[in-house]
Structure 1
C-alpha cells in the first residue's frame, strides 16, 4: 500500500529543507516527498513534509507560522544572523526591555519588510544569496508580510543583551529581518542569534518527530502509518462542500454541475470536497460554462485526490 500523508518533521540544525526531503525520500524509499515551507539551515523546528500523493496538496497548506527567536543587540551582520560577517559591533549595556517593548508595536500587523540579502528570494531569476556570494550589490525590493503577535519570553541584559521572542506570523516573513529592523529602530544594531519554528501550517513542535526517530522506526520495520497526518489536514482553512454519493461520483469523473451553496462558498476559488460519509475527495472550484449563453457557475473538480 502506498504511503500517503504529512510528516511533521523536527528539522535539525545545520540541515537545509532540501537535505531533509532527500533523506526522507531515501528512508521511505519514495520519490514523492516535498516540504511545506523552507526553514533556514541554522534554524530548527517544524518542517511539514508531504509524502506520496499528499505532495499535490502542499499549495493548500494553511499559511501560518510561529517561532521562538533570540535577538542579540549591539551587533549587525551581512546575513542578519550569526553566520554572516560582522558589519558593526558596539556594546549597548544601557538598552532596556522597556525601550524594546515601546517599539515592538511597529512590527505588528501588515508591515513592509525588506528580506535579508542572503535569502532564497529570486530577483531577475537569480537567488539573492547567489548574488550576495558573487559580490553583486542589488537593491532588495520590500514586500508586505503579516505579523499577528510578538511576545517577550525572556530578557537578558548585558553589554550585548539578548531578547527571546515568541512570534506568530504569515508565510514569507523573515524573522532575521525583524531582528535586524528592531535593532535599527533602537539605534543599537541587532542580529538573530537563534531560531526555532514551533508551528507551521497547522503542525506543532510538540507533535513532531526527529529524523533519528523516523529512521529508527523504519529500521525496526514498524508501520509508519501512525506517524502520518491524513492528507486533509492540508485543507483545514478551505471552505468545505459535502456531496451526496451520486454527485460525488460525477465530480470524480470530471463532470460539472449546479450546486446550491452559501455565498461565501460561491466566492471561494478552492473548496475542500468531501463525500457525505466524510471521505475526502479533493479540491473543487466554480467554473462558468464555455457557451456565452451559459453564465451559471458550475461546480467542477480542480484536483481529484481520491475517487469516490
Structure 2
C-alpha cells in the first residue's frame, strides 16, 4: 500500500510569525499551517507558552534548511521577578519558596549580571525539551523525576538592564543577545541564586532570530483577518523565499549544464568556487535563471557538492 500524501498545498517559503502568549510553538505552527493550507511545515526552535515574539516557520522545501535557524543567535527582552523560586523558572510553574527582595539594589543586580557576559557554562533546566533516553526532560519533571544534566557552553553577547523596580518582589527588565541553546529561565534562576532571593521569568519576548526581526513579523490574528473567507493563496505574498534561512551564505550561480548534474546529486566544477570561499564552506546554489537549487559544499578541487537539494514542484507532488 502506497504512502498517503499529506493534505495541503505543495508550497515552499518562510513565514515570520509573532507568536502570542499562552500557546506552544507547535500550536502556532499548526494554526499557521491550516491558514496557508500547506502540506508540510516546521518551526525553527520552540518558544515557551509564556513567550511571545519571532518564530520563523518553514513551509515545504524550506524545512530542509530550518537547522540553520535553530543554530542561529537569538535576542530577547525579558522581565525577571526577584524574591520567588518556581518549579519551572517562570511564571507558569508552581511557587516553591518566597524570599523578600526588598534589600536588593539596582547596583547589586548590575554587578551580578556581569557574571553572565561572554562564554559561560549553563545547566539546562529540567523543564526543557532536551531528551533523556528518548524522553523529554519536561515530561520527567512533571513526574517528579530529576535527571543530572551536564553544563553546556553558551555565549551571552550582550546583556543589559533596561529597568529595575525595587520592592519585596523586585523586577528587572533585560535585553539579552545570545547563542543558540541559551536558556533565559536558567539565567533568571542563576541570578536569583547569586542575589540570595530567587528569581523567575514573568515575561519573555524574542525580538530577533538569526537575521529576522520582530518588525517583519505577523500575528495569527492578522493573518486570519487578511484571509477572511478567501482562499489560502491570498496570504502567499507574506512568504520569504525558500533560501531565506541560509541567506547569510555566499551564493553561486551555475551554468545550465552544471545545474543539471548538481540537481542529480553530483559535484560539479565551477571557476567561481576558488573566488567565493574555502574548502568546506557552504554556499547557496542557483541556476542561471535564479532558481534556488539548494546548499552545496566547496572542495579544494574547484567543485561544489550538493548538501541539501530543493525538489522542484510538479503536478504530482
TM-score, L = length of structure 1: 0.90
Among 214, 219, 228, the alignment partner of 1:219 is: 228
Structure 1 residue 116: Cα displacement: 1.3
For residues 298 and 280 of structure 1, the distance between their equivalents in structure 2, rounded to whole angstroms, comes to 18
Residue number in structure 2 paired with 1:46: 54
For residues 129 and 10 of structure 2, the distance between their equivalents in structure 1, rounded to whole angstroms, comes to 32
Q: Which SS does the other structure have where 1:120 is aligned? A: coil
Residue number in structure 1 paired with 2:72: 63
Q: Deviations 1:263-304 (Å, cap 9, x if unpaired)?
A: 8823335321134554432111246xxxxxxx9574222222
Residue number in structure 1 paired with 2:103: 94
Residue number in structure 1 paired with 2:279: 267
List structure 1 runs of 4+ shifted beyond 3 angstroms.
275-279, 295-298
For residues 161 and 101 of structure 1, the distance between their equivalents in structure 2, rounded to whole angstroms, comes to 14
* 1:81 aligns to 2:122 (yes or no): no
Pairing 1:1-308 to 2, within 5 Å after superposition: 2-61=10-69, 63-221=72-230, 223-260=234-271, 261-262=273-274, 265-276=277-288, 278-286=290-298, 296=301, 298-305=303-310
Check 1:270–1:180 CA distance in 2 against 1; reply closer, same or farther (3 A cut): same
For residues 257 and 199 of structure 1, the distance between their equivalents in structure 2, rounded to whole angstroms, comes to 36
For residues 129 and 300 of structure 1, the distance between their equivalents in structure 2, rounded to whole angstroms, comes to 40
For residues 280 and 19 of structure 2, the distance between their equivalents in structure 1, rounded to whole angstroms, comes to 34
Bigger Cα displacement from structure 2, 103-112 vs 10-19: 103-112
Residue number in structure 2 paired with 1:292: none
For residues 235 and 46 of structure 2, the distance between their equivalents in structure 1, rounded to whole angstroms, comes to 24
Q: Deviations 1:21-76 (Å, cap 9, x if unpaired)?
A: 11122222223111011000111111111112211221223601111000111111
Bigger Cα displacement from structure 2, 133-142 vs 32-41: 133-142
Contact 2:249 2:283 in 1 (8 A): yes
For residues 25 and 223 of structure 2, the distance between their equivalents in structure 1, rounded to whole angstroms, comes to 16
Contact 1:78 1:117 in 2 (8 A): no
For residues 187 and 300 of structure 1, the distance between their equivalents in structure 2, rounded to whole angstroms, comes to 55
* Count of residue pairs brought into register by the alignment: 300
TM-score, L = length of structure 2: 0.87
Structure 1 residue 83: Cα displacement: 1.6
For residues 215 and 150 of structure 1, the distance between their equivalents in structure 2, rounded to whole angstroms, comes to 36
| Unmatched segments (≥5 aa) in structure 2 | 1-8, 313-317
Check 1:281–1:229 CA distance in 2 against 1; reply closer, same or farther (3 A cut): same
For residues 64 and 261 of structure 2, the distance between their equivalents in structure 1, rounded to whole angstroms, comes to 21
Q: Which SS does the other structure have where 1:149 is aligned? A: strand
